[in-house]
């Protein structure tokens, strides 16, 4: 087993963790103030090509933070901070517990923590579904390591969950608080996320699978708010898809299963069957 200190690299090395971002983003948009910020300050609802360009940028940023040099990491964090400084405004209409006119800012510590926590939880859950179970100490280490990034982006250090138990308690508390409520802006953004290709052939091929993965990963309370279709038949289909993905992942060579920057760094565990010659 690799050292606990490297668990973040082991997890973030996996290409399949991109699927976790779908769940994380939908949970983030379920916060009305975050949905407002994305709707009013992002080209989120652009073309399919724009959607993939944004995904590529996000992947590059994640890889730089996890596997890059100190200078590369700081450059990415500075870029994110610059974007956050530009994102502020007021809620255009009442949503959930927030009245119309409620101010929002991407530099708000509470919003930063919600974004952070939903991403960390989603990645851990996806890793355990698609790769392997994590030991409790590894879940805690991933939470602790990830917390540093949230703090560097402006979250209050004392408020960021640093263990798996604290993270789950935080998320459950927010879901029960009434703050997390899918409004019209979140619904529109979710529709664009699930169907980035509009009404063409790409959408007919792509959207049903994305919708299934989104519905299957979300907590039931949030799934209902987004009005994703869900029944026993879809639940069984979701389990089959995840089983196939896990099988494919277990058979895939390192050059396909993990990001190139992770292979180059040589940070992977021998328990996955990787070796320095697999690069």
Quick check: 76 and 64 in contact, CB under 8 A? yes
- Tokens coding 101: 């006119």
Of the candidate ranges 47-56, 183-192, 236-245, the one whose mean pLDDT is the lowest: 47-56
CA distances from 29 to 24, 91, 222, 238 (A): 9, 13, 11, 22
- Residue located via tokens 């851990």: 124
Instruction: From 103, 74, 98, 75, select the one nearest 87 (Cα to Cα).
Output: 103
pLDDT digits (tens, 9 = 90+) for 76-123: 999 999 999 999 999 999 998 999 999 999 999 999 999 999 999 999
Of the candidate ranges 146-160, 180-194, 257-271, the one whose mean pLDDT is the lowest: 257-271
Q: Please provide the size of the chain in residues.
A: 279
Residues facing 144 on adjacent strands: none
Between vectors from CA 144 to CA 82 and to CA 245, what angle results, nearest 5°?
90
Domain count, the chain: 1
Helix (H, G, I), strand (E, B) or coil at 89: strand
- Provide the residue range defining the domain that includes 142: 4-278
Of the candidate ranges 42-51, 59-68, 80-89, 150-159, the one whose mean pLDDT is the lowest: 42-51
Q: What is the pLDDT of residue 49?
A: 58
Quick check: 131 and 248 in contact, CB under 8 A? no
- Alpha-carbon distance of 258 to 63, in angstroms, equals 11
Percent of the chain with pLDDT over 70: 86
- Tokens coding 62: 């994640």
Q: What is the pLDDT of residue 275?
A: 34
Q: What is the pLDDT of residue 202?
A: 62
- Mean pLDDT of all residues in 167-182: 96
Q: Is pLDDT at 52 greater than 80 in this prediction?
A: no
- Tokens coding 279: 């690069």
Q: What is the pLDDT of residue 266?
A: 60
Percent of the chain with pLDDT over 90: 72
Quick check: 84 and 107 in contact, CB under 8 A? yes
Q: What is the pLDDT of residue 276?
A: 33
Helix (H, G, I), strand (E, B) or coil at 90: strand
- Mean pLDDT of all residues in 264-270: 55
Quick check: 99 and 91 in contact, CB under 8 A? yes
- Mean pLDDT of all residues in 61-78: 91
Q: Is pLDDT at 5 greater than 50 in this prediction?
A: no
Q: What is the pLDDT of residue 53?
A: 67
Residue 199 CA, distance from chain mean position: 26
Q: Kindly report the average pLDDT of the chain as a whole number.
A: 88
Q: Is pLDDT at 198 greater than 90 in this prediction?
A: no
Q: What is the DSSP code (8-state) at residue 258?
A: B
Q: Is pLDDT at 13 greater than 80 in this prediction?
A: yes
């Amino acid at each position: 087993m690799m050292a606990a200190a490297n668990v973040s690299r082991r997890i973030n090395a996996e290409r399949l963790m991109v699927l976790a971002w779908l769940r994380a983003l939908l949970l983030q948009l379920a916060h009305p103030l975050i949905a407002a910020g994305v709707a009013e300050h992002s080209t989120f609802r652009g073309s399919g090509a724009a959607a993939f360009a944004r995904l590529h940028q996000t992947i590059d940023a994640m890889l730089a933070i996890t596997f890059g040099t100190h200078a590369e990491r700081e450059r990415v964090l500075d870029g994110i901070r610059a974007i956050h400084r530009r994102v502020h405004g007021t809620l255009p209409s009442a949503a959930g517990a927030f009245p119309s006119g409620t101010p929002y800012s991407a530099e708000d510590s509470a919003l930063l923590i919600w974004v952070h926590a939903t991403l960390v939880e989603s990645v851990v859950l996806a890793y355990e579904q698609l790769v392997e179970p994590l030991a409790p100490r590894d879940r805690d280490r991933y939470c602790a390591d990830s917390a540093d990034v949230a703090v560097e982006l402006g979250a209050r250090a004392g408020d960021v969950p640093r263990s798996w138990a604290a993270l789950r308690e935080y998320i459950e508390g927010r879901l029960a608080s009434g703050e997390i409520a899918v409004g019209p802006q979140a619904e529109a953004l979710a529709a664009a996320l699930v169907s980035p290709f509009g009404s063409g052939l790409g959408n007919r091929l792509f959207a049903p699978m994305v919708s299934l993965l989104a519905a299957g990963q979300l907590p039931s309370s949030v799934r209902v708010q987004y009005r994703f279709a869900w029944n026993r038949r879809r639940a069984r289909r979701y389990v089959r898809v995840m089983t196939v993905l896990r099988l494919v992942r277990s058979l895939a060579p390192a050059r396909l299963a993990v990001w190139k920057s992770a292979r180059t760094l040589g940070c992977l565990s021998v328990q996955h069957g990787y070796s320095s010659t697999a690069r």
